[in-house]
């Protein structure tokens, strides 16, 4: 499902960044949301995986694991 607005994290099994916007995770109280972000390009990219991974680390710290499949 493409992220075009803030959505509760478990609402879909797979989230895709919409064209031209980063995908980030954010917390509001006890709930975690996935949302689009219009931040600046990073490494000449938007969306950028670096921005997404940083937002995950900000929420979960050392309790997260990421696997990049290419």
Tell me what percent of the residues of the chain surpass a pLDDT of 70: 100
Residue 39 confidence class, pLDDT cut points 50, 70, 90: very high
Q: What is the pTM of this model?
A: 0.85
Residue 22 confidence class, pLDDT cut points 50, 70, 90: very high
Residue 23 confidence class, pLDDT cut points 50, 70, 90: very high
For residue 68, pLDDT over 80 is answered with yes
Phi, then psi, of 48 in degrees rounded to 5: -125, 130
Beta strands in 1-70 (DSSP E): 2-3, 7-8, 16-17, 22-28, 31-37
Distance in angstroms (rounded) separating the CA atoms of residues 4 and 31 = 18
| pLDDT (mean) for 24-46 | 94
């Amino acid at each position: 499902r493409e992220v075009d607005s803030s959505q509760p994290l478990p609402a879909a099994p797979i989230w895709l960044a919409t064209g031209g916007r980063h995908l980030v995770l954010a917390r509001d109280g006890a709930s975690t949301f996935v949302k689009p972000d219009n931040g600046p390009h990073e490494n000449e990219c938007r969306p950028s995986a670096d921005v997404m991974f940083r937002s995950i680390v900000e929420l979960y710290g050392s309790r997260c694991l990421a696997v990049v499949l290419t």
